[in-house]
């Protein structure tokens, strides 16, 4: 064991934003849809990172669609608060990837939401799923391998249910 | 068996809307966050239906928060399309309810998305969960009982995973 080796990686730090007034509900808290909007911008940043930026998606008639999302709302956020989102690549196959976003308040450790996502590569002309390009798959594999030894949150892979007791 | 009895109920038909231009991504499809926005409006309509409208929430310092949501994106929708959403009350306890929204294109049977939600009654002054008021709990129980014999979609209670094979 080489104890000087760097750790197996940290989640990707991909996106930062500030809560906009139009994202608030009548109570002054960010509405549930806008957490998903911020997570969506983070997914866009991940696509840039793996070489699937908007220009390439357009040129190659390829896109990456969200098939499913599981969001957990942990805390309220208000106007002007700073948010940052990190991303862990959990798993992938030839055309799909399962990832986990975590949204934090400001620069601290308090999480305000998480979202597990299932993404799928799509041939937009044929309107059907298609394998990732080789370099994109390679980039995703690198992240998955770097994230393999990170802790996996208890919310990952969980179905929604009524808790027992209180 | 009284064969003239009405069926055990259908999902609640709670919300209709039309896709707005500001909900679209650069491809002209509704973005993932705005499906959640439309489902959120449907949850608001359910709250009206069980006697928890905005006026009462304000007066009673009570609200209903979304704890978790599991959304499945099934089809793209474009500007100006009509959407309708139905709701099935799956289960509840003294302060939480699990519901299932289904979003349809126009007046037809084609589903474009589903969302399973875990809701929780909250005392907004104490900032903590609290039991539903008795009449609200009663209204929710009535819907749950009316929906008990409805088919339960395969997406309900499901965790996100990479499918096996293709």
For B36, the closest chain A residue by CA position comes to A33
Contacts of A83 (CB under 8 A, 6+ apart): A16, A17, A18, A19, A38, A77, A103, A104, A105, A106, A112
Report whether pLDDT(A5) > 70.
no
Residues B112, B128 contacting (CB under 8 angstroms) = no
User: CB-based contact (8 Å) between A131 and chain B?
Assistant: no
Q: Is the Cα torsion angle A125, A126, A128, A130 positive or negative in sign?
A: negative
Flag whether residue A133 sits within 8 Å of chain B, measured between CB atoms. no
Does B31 contact A at CB distance below 8 Å? yes
Q: For B83-137, what is each residue's pLDDT tens digit?
A: 999 999 999 999 999 999 999 999 999 999 999 999 999 999 999 999 999 999 9
Q: Tokens 């995703």 correspond to what residue?
A: A140
Nearest by Cα to A27 from B89, B24, B61, B82: B61
A-chain residues near B124 (CB < 8 A)? 27
Specify the pLDDT at position B84. 98
Residues B146-163 have pLDDT tens digits of 999 999 999 999 999 998
pLDDT band at B165 (very low <50, low <70, confident <90, very high): low
Residue of chain B whose alpha carbon sits nearest to that of A92: B162
Residue B4, pLDDT > 90, answer no
d(CA B31, CA B126): 35
CA–CA separation, A22 vs A85, rounded Å?
Answer: 20
A23, two tokens = 């994202």
The whole-model pTM stands at 0.93
Interface probe with B: pick from A36, A90, A118, most Cβ of B within 10 Å: A36
Q: Name the band, by pLDDT with cuts 50, 70 and 90, for residue A165.
A: low
pLDDT in tens, A82-107: 999 999 999 999 999 999 999 999 99
On the 0-12 / 13-18 / 19+ scale of CB atoms within 10 A, B147 is buried
**Is the CB of B159 less than 8 angstroms away from the CB of A158?**
yes
Chain centre to alpha carbon of residue A93 = 17
Predicted local distance difference test score (pLDDT) of residue A89: 98
Pairing mode, strands A128-129 and A82-92: unpaired
Q: Taking residues B64-92, report their average pLDDT.
A: 97
B152 shares contact with chain A (CB less than 8 Å): no
Q: Does B59 touch chain A (CB under 8 A)?
A: no
pLDDT of residue A12: 96
Cβ of A116 within 8 Å of Cβ of B91? The answer is no
């Amino acid at each position: 064991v080489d104890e000087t080796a760097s750790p197996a990686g940290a989640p990707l730090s991909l996106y930062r934003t500030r809560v906009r007034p139009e994202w608030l509900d009548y109570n002054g808290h960010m509405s549930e849809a806008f957490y998903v909007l911020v997570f969506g911008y983070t997914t866009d940043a991940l696509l840039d990172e793996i070489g699937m930026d908007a220009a390439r998606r357009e040129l190659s008639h390829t896109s990456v669609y969200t098939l499913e999302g599981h969001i957990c709302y942990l805390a309220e956020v208000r106007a002007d608060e700073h948010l940052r989102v990190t991303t862990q690549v959990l798993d992938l196959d030839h055309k799909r990837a399962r990832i986990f976003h975590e949204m934090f308040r400001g620069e601290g450790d308090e999480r305000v939401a998480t979202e597990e996502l299932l993404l799928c590569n799509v041939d937009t002309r044929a309107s059907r799923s298609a394998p990732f390009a080789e370099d994109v798959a390679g980039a995703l594999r690198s992240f998955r391998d770097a994230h393999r030894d990170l802790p996996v949150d208890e919310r990952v892979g969980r179905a929604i249910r009524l808790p027992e007791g209180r």
